[in-house]
Amino acid sequence: MKDFFRPKDIKLDDIKKACEMAAGTDHPMEVQMCIINEEFRRGFYFISKYRRSVTIFGSARSCNDDIEYEKARRIAKQIVQETGYVVVTGGGPGVMEAANRGAYDGNGISLGINIRIPTEQTTNPWVTDSITFENFFSRKVILAYGSEAYLVFPGGFGTLDELFGVLTLRQTLKISPAPIILIGKKYWDNFMPAFEMLADDGYINRKDLELFKITDDEEEILEIVKNSPERIA
């Protein structure tokens, strides 16, 4: 790879231009592979600057007077104040904004791992540092990389995709046993019959149902985060 790729803080548009220069616009697959490689490189460099962290997932569509928004903001603030952990989110609106805002309120480090899409996703004003991705899969890796705990609020397809990705990593022992906490009992209890069916029919082990914890108890959530072991991604 040529030297102009080496700056760690290179912007996404600059990566695309450099990849087109290196591979040629008549080789779109090579350009895309180049972009993906650089996204991973700059993403790992970005997140590796911060040691202990908690990743918070949730809907981009939550409003700031929703219960989930208020709860995410409150919990994130408690986490940074009582543990000093970095709060990591997808950097967008809704629950992501709430968690970043709570971390910011608590004078903590508030990271946004953003994605470039046509709708919904703009970087919220409460991040202290952020990075933007072109591809969802590379962004998901960085969101999951190295966190001591994962907090998952109610959300749509994107949130469920992120949850099942982390659950699969835990199930297959690809990451250390970081706790996965599902917040919003009324919402997540709706999924339990399907999860029970998967276990009953042998598609997952019944022990896999212990990979996550459903709770709305903020003191319990904070204790789980406090007691989570520091892990190597």
- CATH number, residue 106: 3.40.50.450
Q: The whole model's pTM is what?
A: 0.91
Contact 94, 121 (CB under 8 A): no
Is the same domain home to 115 and 175?
Answer: yes
What per-residue confidence (pLDDT) applies to 4?
45
Contact 122, 67 (CB under 8 A): no
Q: Is residue 106 situated within a structural domain?
A: yes
* DSSP-derived secondary structure letter, 128: S
Is the same domain home to 35 and 136?
Answer: no
Is the same domain home to 27 and 106?
Answer: no
What per-residue confidence (pLDDT) applies to 233?
52
What 3-state class would DSSP assign to 76? helix
Is the same domain home to 89 and 147?
Answer: yes
What per-residue confidence (pLDDT) applies to 8?
59
CA distances from 1 to 14, 26, 33, 35, 82 (A): 15, 18, 12, 12, 43
* Domain span at 29: 7-45
What per-residue confidence (pLDDT) applies to 232?
63
What per-residue confidence (pLDDT) applies to 5?
47
What per-residue confidence (pLDDT) applies to 215?
98
Contact 123, 92 (CB under 8 A): yes
Is the same domain home to 133 and 187?
Answer: yes
Q: Is residue 2 situated within a structural domain?
A: no
Question: Residue 63 CB: number of other CB atoms within 10 A?
Answer: 11
Is the same domain home to 141 and 59?
Answer: yes
Is the same domain home to 95 and 121?
Answer: yes
Q: At what angle do helices 67-83 and 218-227 cross, to 10 degrees?
A: 40
Contact 92, 54 (CB under 8 A): no
Q: Is residue 77 situated within a structural domain?
A: yes
Query: pLDDT tens digits for the chain (233 residues)?
Result: 444 445 556 788 888 888 888 888 788 899 999 989 999 999 999 999 998 999 999 999 999 999 999 999 999 999 999 999 999 999 999 999 999 999 999 999 999 999 988 775 689 999 999 999 989 999 999 999 889 999 999 999 999 999 999 999 999 999 989 999 999 999 999 999 999 999 999 999 999 999 999 999 999 999 999 999 887 65
With b for 16 or more beta-carbon neighbours within 10 A and e for fewer, the 19-54 pattern comes to bbeebeeeeeeebeebbbebbbbbbbebbeeeebbb
Give how many domains the chain has, as a whole number. Answer: 2
Measured CA to CA, the distance from residue 91 to residue 60 in angstroms comes to: 9
What per-residue confidence (pLDDT) applies to 7?
57
